[in-house]
Amino acid sequence: MLSPLAYGLAVLISLLVVLIGVRFLLQPEAAAAGYGVPAKPDGDRAYLTIKGLRDLAYGLLGLALIAFATPTAVAWYMLIGALEPLGDTVIVLRHGGTKAAAFGIHFATAVVVLLDAVLLFAL
């Protein structure tokens, strides 16, 4: 029972990260606004592209680990991967984003990723 839940959540998280990456590549301004810190009109779009590529790669790496690695390896990936949404929480707070975006999106995501890591370590 625990295995399908842990792996299902890991797949869902990884797919969502892939989708976020694709959105940053295709609709960078809208994605930045959804992130919690809107892009500046005269800003360098390269950073939005970097974020998109980073998230796309992290999501695909997660899916590859799920498909080909042990539950412990996937658990470590999720545990370390939780640093990204925790860092995003701080970024949003320090750059004028709302507390609702920081905690409701990014911190909540970190909690879910950490929960999945715990479930995967239990397998």
The per-residue pLDDT for range 43-100, each reduced to its tens digit, is 888 999 999 999 999 999 999 999 999 999 999 999 999 999 999 999 999 999 999 9
The C-alpha atoms of residue 58 and residue 34 are separated, in whole angstroms, by 19
Contact 82, 113 (CB under 8 A): yes
Enter the pTM of the model. 0.93
What is the overall mean pLDDT for the chain? Answer: 96
* pLDDT score, position 42: 85
Domains of the chain, by residue range, sit at 2-121
Residue 53 confidence (pLDDT): 98
What ranges in the chain are assigned the alpha helix state H?
A: 2-26, 28-35, 45-68, 71-81, 83-94, 99-101, 108-121
| CA angle 21–86–100, rounded 5-degree value | 85
Q: Note the pLDDT of residue 1.
A: 77
- CA dihedral 70→73→79→83, nearest 10 degrees, is -130
Q: What is the pLDDT of residue 81?
A: 97
Q: What is the mean pLDDT of residues 96-113?
A: 97
Average pLDDT over residues 106-118: 98
